[in-house]
């Protein structure tokens, strides 16, 4: 019984991985990959914003943990989620990304640099400085969204 279960699991896993390999060639999983990246950013940056706005009590240690999470998430190579041909489908990514890839990349670089500073500054434990760098980091999200993210799904 145990053996069967193990075999079933192994078969299931190998089916899953071949399906993943097949799908990775198509655009939708790349959209999922980049949307997962941004969802992770949003779900980390959101509670930090609640703390900055005073909706939840300021807690330096927790703010620093979130800032580190944001920084680590930021470093993930989301660029491969914007491979050529992944522009259509369920997405809010505007088509001008693919015709302005250098500018898009520099906005991503700016965000990553801001998130790295936010982690450093948070670790110093001065709430006013943390708040200021949080706002600056939010500005780098907005700079990209203003140009390259639609409010609604595009297709």
What residues make contact with ligand HEC under the rule CB under 6 A? 31, 34-35, 38-39, 41-42, 45, 91-93, 104, 107-108, 111, 137, 140-141, 144-145, 148-149
Task: State which residue, 43 or 123, has the beta carbon closest to ligand HEC.
Answer: 43
We find the least distance from the C-beta atom of residue 101 to ligand HEC, in angstroms, to be 11
Give me the residue label for tokens 């670790």. Answer: 123
Question: Angle at CA 107, nearest 5°, toward 101 and 111?
Answer: 140
Integer angstrom CA distances of residue 136 from 24, 59, 132: 35, 20, 6
Task: State which residue, 2 or 151, has the beta carbon closest to ligand HEC.
Answer: 151
Task: State which residue, 9 or 120, has the beta carbon closest to ligand HEC.
Answer: 120
We find the least distance from the C-beta atom of residue 128 to ligand HEC, in angstroms, to be 20
We find the least distance from the C-beta atom of residue 121 to ligand HEC, in angstroms, to be 15
Task: State which residue, 15 or 24, has the beta carbon closest to ligand HEC.
Answer: 24
Q: From CA 122, how far away is CA 129, in angstroms rounded?
A: 8
Q: From CA 47, how far away is CA 56, in angstroms rounded?
A: 8
We find the least distance from the C-beta atom of residue 60 to ligand HEC, in angstroms, to be 20
For residue 34 the two structure tokens come to: 């980049």
Q: From CA 97, how far away is CA 106, in angstroms rounded?
A: 12
């Amino acid at each position: 019984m145990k053996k069967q279960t193990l075999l079933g699991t192994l078969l299931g896993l190998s089916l899953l991985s071949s399906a993943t390999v097949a799908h990775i060639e198509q655009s939708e999983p790349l959209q999922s990959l980049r949307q997962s990246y941004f969802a992770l950013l949003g779900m980390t940056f959101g509670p930090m914003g609640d703390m900055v706005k005073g909706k939840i009590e300021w807690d330096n240690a927790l703010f620093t943990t979130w800032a580190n999470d944001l920084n680590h998430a930021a470093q993930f190579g989301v660029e491969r989620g914007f491979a050529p041909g992944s522009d259509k489908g369920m997405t809010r990514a505007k088509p001008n990304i693919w015709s302005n890839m250098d500018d898009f990349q520099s906005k991503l670089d700016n965000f990553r640099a801001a998130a790295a500073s936010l982690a450093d500054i948070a670790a110093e434990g001065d709430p006013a400085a943390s708040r200021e760098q949080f706002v600056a980091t939010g500005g780098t999200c907005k700079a990209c969204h203003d140009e390259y993210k639609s409010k609604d799904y595009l297709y």
